[in-house]
Chains A and B, each alone.
Chain A
Amino acid sequence: MNPFEYQRAEDVATAVATVSGNENAAFLGGGTNLVDHLKLGVATPNLLVDVSGLPLDRVESLPDGGLRIGAAVRNSDAAADPRIRRDYPMLAEALLSGASAQVRNLATMGGNLLQRTRCVYFQDVTTPCNKRVPGSGCSALRGYHRYHAILGASEHCVAVHPSDLAVALVALDAVVQVSGPDGDRAVPVTDLYRLPGDAPERDTVLERGELITAIDLPVLPMAARSGYRKVRDRASYAFALVSVAAAVDLFDNGTIRDVRIAFGGVAHKPWRAYRAEDALRGRPTTAEAFDDAANAELRDARPLRDNVFKLRMARGALVAALQHLTGADR
Chain B
Amino acid sequence: MIGSPLPRLDGTAKVTGTARYAFEHRVADPAYAYPLQATVARGHITAINTSAAQAVDGVLAVITHENAPHLASTEDAELAVLQSTEIAFRGQVIGAVVADTSETARHAAGLVEVSYDPSPHDAVFTPDRDDLYTPDTVNPSFPTDTSQGDVESALKQSPVVVDHVYTTPMTHNNPLEPHTTVACWHDDQLTLYDSTQGVHSTRQSLAKALGLAPERIRVIAPHVGGGFGSKGQAHAHLVLAAMAAQAMPGRAVKLALTRQQMFSLVGYRTPTVQHVRLGAGPDGRLTAISMDVVEQTSRIKEFAEQTAIPARHMYAAPNRRTTHRLAALDVPVPSWMRAPGECPGMFGPEVAMDELANACGMDPVDLRVLNEPDVDPESGKPFSSRNLVACLREGAARFGWADREHAPRTRREHGWWVGTGVAASTYPVHVKPGSSATVRFQPDGRYRIEIGATDIGTGTWTALTQIAADALSVRVDAIDLRIGDTDLPPATVAGGSSGINSWGSAVVDAARAFRDKFGTGPNPGDEAQGTTPGNSAGERFAMRAFGAQFAEVRVHAATGEIRVPRLLGVFAVGRIINPRTARSQFLGGMTMGMSMALHEQSVLDERFGHVVNHDLAEYHIAANADVAGIEAHWVDETDPHVNPLGTKGIGEIGIVGTAAAIANAAHHATGIRVRDLPLTADKFLADARR
Contacts and interface: CB of A to CB of B under 8 A. Distances in A.
A124 B415 CA distance: 39
Nearest to B626: A235
A182 interface: no
Interface in A72-112: none
A234 B628 CA distance: 12
A117 B373 CA distance: 54
Interface string A234-274: 11111101100000000000000000000000000000000
A204 B328 CA distance: 45
Given A127-B608, A233-B681, A309 B559 contact: no
Interface stretch (B124-132, B341-349, B615-623): B615-623
Contact of B685 (A126, A127, A309): A309
Interface centre among A127, A143, A235, A236 (most CB of B within 10 A): A235
Interface string A295-330: 000000000000001001101110110010000011
B680 A120 contact: no
A233 B415 contact: no
Contact of A319 (B103, B558, B610, B620): B558
B613 A320 contact: no
B685 A313 contact: yes
B474 interface: no
A145 to B, nearest CB: 10
Contacts, number: 104
Contacts of A142: 607
Contact of A234 (B556, B625, B682, B685): B625
Given A41-B110, A231-B561, A234-B625, A143 B685 contact: no
Contact of A236 (B557, B607, B608, B623): B623
Nearest to A100: B623
B612 interface: yes
Contacts of A139: 605, 607-608
Interface string A140-153: 00111010000000
B8 interface: no
A312 B17 CA distance: 47
A235 B625 contact: yes
B627 to A, nearest CB: 9
Given A234-B620, A317-B559, A126 B681 contact: no
Interface in B570-610: 598-599, 603, 605, 607-608, 610
Closest 5 CB pairs of A and B: A316-B558, A309-B682, A236-B625, A235-B625, A316-B559
A3 B681 contact: no
Interface in A115-149: 118, 120-121, 123-124, 126-127, 139, 142-144, 146
Contacts of A320: 415, 556, 558-559
Contacts of B681: 231, 233, 241, 309, 313
Interface string B648-690: 0000000000000000000000000000000011100110001
B141 interface: no
Contacts of A329: 414-415
A95 to B, nearest CB: 16
A313 B618 CA distance: 20
Interface string B464-483: 00000000000000000000
B620 A120 contact: no
A124 to B, nearest CB: 6
A267 to B, nearest CB: 18
Interface in B518-561: 556-561
B345 to A, nearest CB: 25
A70 B620 CA distance: 33
A1 B599 contact: no
Contacts of B685: 309, 312-313, 316
A233 B560 contact: no
Contact of A127 (B598, B612, B617): B612
Contact of A237 (B559, B625, B686): B625
A315 B557 CA distance: 12
Interface of B: 39, 103, 106-107, 110, 258, 260, 414-415, 556-561, 563, 598-599, 603, 605, 607-608, 610, 612-615, 617-618, 620, 622-626, 680-682, 685-686, 690
18 contacts: A1-B110, A3-B103, A39-B258, A127-B605, A127-B608, A139-B607, A146-B682, A231-B559, A233-B598, A236-B623, A236-B626, A239-B617, A242-B559, A313-B559, A316-B560, A320-B556, A320-B559, A330-B414
Nearest to B598: A234
A312 B690 CA distance: 10
Contacts of B599: 233-234
A3 B101 CA distance: 12
A1 B107 contact: yes
A234 B622 contact: yes
B605 A144 contact: yes
B57 to A, nearest CB: 9
Contacts of A323: 415
A313 B690 CA distance: 12
B77 to A, nearest CB: 23
B561 A120 contact: no
A69 B344 CA distance: 50
Given A126-B39, A309-B560, 11 more contacts: A1-B107, A40-B260, A231-B559, A233-B620, A233-B680, A233-B681, A236-B623, A236-B626, A313-B560, A316-B690, A320-B556
Contacts of A118: 617-618
Nearest to B110: A41
Contacts of B603: 120, 144
A241 B685 CA distance: 13
Contact of B106 (A1, A146, A315): A1
B33 to A, nearest CB: 15
A1 B103 contact: yes
Residue with the greatest number of chain B CB neighbours at <10 A, chosen from A126, A143, A234, A323: A234
A143 B605 CA distance: 7
A160 to B, nearest CB: 13
A330 B415 CA distance: 9
B322 to A, nearest CB: 32
A41 B617 CA distance: 17
A309 B688 CA distance: 11
A58 B610 CA distance: 45
Given A241-B681, A316-B560, A320-B559, A309 B106 contact: no
Nearest to A237: B623
A237 B485 CA distance: 38
Contacts of B598: 233-234
Contact of A235 (B605, B623, B680): B623
Contacts of A126: 39, 608, 610
A33 B428 CA distance: 45
Given A121-B612, A144-B603, A316 B556 contact: yes
Contacts of A3: 103, 107
A225 B615 CA distance: 37
Interface in A176-213: none
A130 to B, nearest CB: 16
Interface in A32-70: 39-41
A233 B681 CA distance: 7
Contacts of B107: 1-3
Contacts of B260: 40
Given A241-B681, A312-B685, A143 B625 contact: no
A319 B415 CA distance: 11
A235 B626 CA distance: 5
Nearest to B610: A126
Contacts of A2: 107, 110
